[in-house]
Amino acid sequence: MSASALSPSRRTESAGADPVLFQELAGRDGRRIGVATLNSPQTLNGLSLPMSRLLDARLQAWAADDGLVAVVLNGAGGKAFCAGGDLHGLYRAMLDSPAGDAWANLPARAFFETEYRLDHRIHCYPKPVLCWGSGIVMGGGVGLMMGSSHRIVTRTTRFAMPEVTIGLYPDVAGTWMLSRLPRGIGAFLAFTGAQLGAGDCLHYGLADRICDAEGLDALLDALAATDWATDPVRHAAQVDAVLDACQAPTPEPGPLQRHADAIRQACGRADFLEITAAVTAWKDDLDPWLARAAATFLAGSPGSARLSHALLARARNQSLAETFRMEFTASLHCCAEPDFREGIRALLIDKDKSPRWNPATHEQATADWVRRFFAPLGPDGRPHPLADLGA
């Protein structure tokens, strides 16, 4: 099965217009493989609230089904696994909600709570989850991929957390993930939205395997042909064996590896303004990848960079569930602050690519300013909406 179409022998349960297509591949001895295909190629499979709800409900059902041994996540259209979240929907919600009141934005509350619960479920899933991360994997797509037990990239993979360009920050537990990378690397990726290929993803533990971009059909055939053990504990190792047989040659080192020393020196500092100065210095660098990273950073939201810096520092010492709760609070505050709305307007609505950021400079995005994103939400004494998430 390619990412663009399902083969005739593998019919889905859903009509082609449904936002997520589900199928169960018959294997040996009645065992089955669950396949979930994000089905919005016109938006590069941007993750909407209905998609998150459908996927979460099906994952819960498959987790309880003893006959289903593994799950495969992929995206339709051939260009992307998932390019992010539903920014148009969030923009409409921000326009329709009282300015400055984070808790009053009911659609945003529903979107982020559902998305973060889904991501957390994948992180904690009791069965192997294979994510076919071919093509564009950004934002919300990273959230789905990072929790999967088997994260697969191809030579077409373009992996990034580019939220600084829209006035947000690397959410979906992105701050938890980035804070655990080698010193300076996470801050660099958060500040610049730099795109990574398969080589860098594999080297830094952001992916587990590389396969040919046209290899999904063969992978599904191999999974269906596997003689699955009666003991579910062995299924992850059996998936490993299937991927060993499907694996493509190791790619060359990517630009993140090649520039690792310079990035550590520039971004491995504690002081926010020292980092911003070091990244800014790359704007005229002879290496086009570093120069592009600096250009993206300088065009991005200064407030997003400061918020990312603060979140990474906290996430480094938090559990996964604690980070999801922290990010839920920060994301709703972003919906009440001007930059997120302005970033979406400039990029996707008016498309003038000239956002008016507030604060306008990194110096104005102070440590005092960023504290607003950690203020508790809602009525005093109420439990956090994600209070029930496990560790």
pLDDT (tens digit, 9 = 90+) per residue, 237-290?
A: 999 999 999 999 999 999 999 999 999 999 999 999 999 999 999 999 999 999
SS (H, E, C) the chain: CECCECCCCCCCCCCCCCCEEEEEEECHHHCEEEEEEECCHHHCCCECHHHHHHHHHHHHHHHCCCCEEEEEEEECCCCEEECCECHHHHHHHHHHCCCCCHHHCHHHHHHHHHHHHHHHHHHCCCCCEEEEECCEEECHHHHHHHCCCEEEECCCCEEECCHHHHCCCCCCCHHHHHCCCCCCHHHHHHHHCCCECHHHHHHCCCCCEEECCCCHHHHHHHHHCCCCCCCHHHHHHHHHHHHHHHECCCCCCCHHHHCHHHHHHHHCCCCHHHHHHHHHHHHHCCCHHHHHHHHHHHHCCHHHHHHHHHHHHHHCCCCHHHHHHHHHHHHHHHHHCHHHHHHHHHHHHCCCCCCCCCCCCCCCCCHHHHHHHHCCCCCCCCCCCCCCCCC
The pLDDT assigned to 166 comes to 98
Average pLDDT over residues 87-114: 95
Q: What kind of fold does domain 20-374 have according to CATH?
A: 2-enoyl-CoA Hydratase; Chain A, domain 1 (3.90.226)
Average pLDDT, the chain: 95
Amino acid (one-letter) located at 298: L
| 197 has pLDDT over 60 | yes
The pLDDT assigned to 5 comes to 36
Average pLDDT over residues 102-129: 98
Q: For 245-259, write each residue's pLDDT tens digit.
A: 999 999 999 999 999
| 81 has pLDDT over 70 | yes
Average pLDDT over residues 342-355: 98
Average pLDDT over residues 219-238: 97
The pLDDT assigned to 28 comes to 86
Percent of the chain with pLDDT over 70: 96
CA distance 52 to 331: 17
Q: For 142-170, write each residue's pLDDT tens digit.
A: 999 999 999 999 999 999 999 999 999 99
| 217 has pLDDT over 70 | yes
Q: For 294-326, write each residue's pLDDT tens digit.
A: 999 999 999 999 999 999 999 999 999 999 999
Q: For 65-77, write each residue's pLDDT tens digit.
A: 999 999 999 999 9
Amino acid (one-letter) located at 384: H
**How do beta strands 80-82 and 136-138 pair?**
parallel
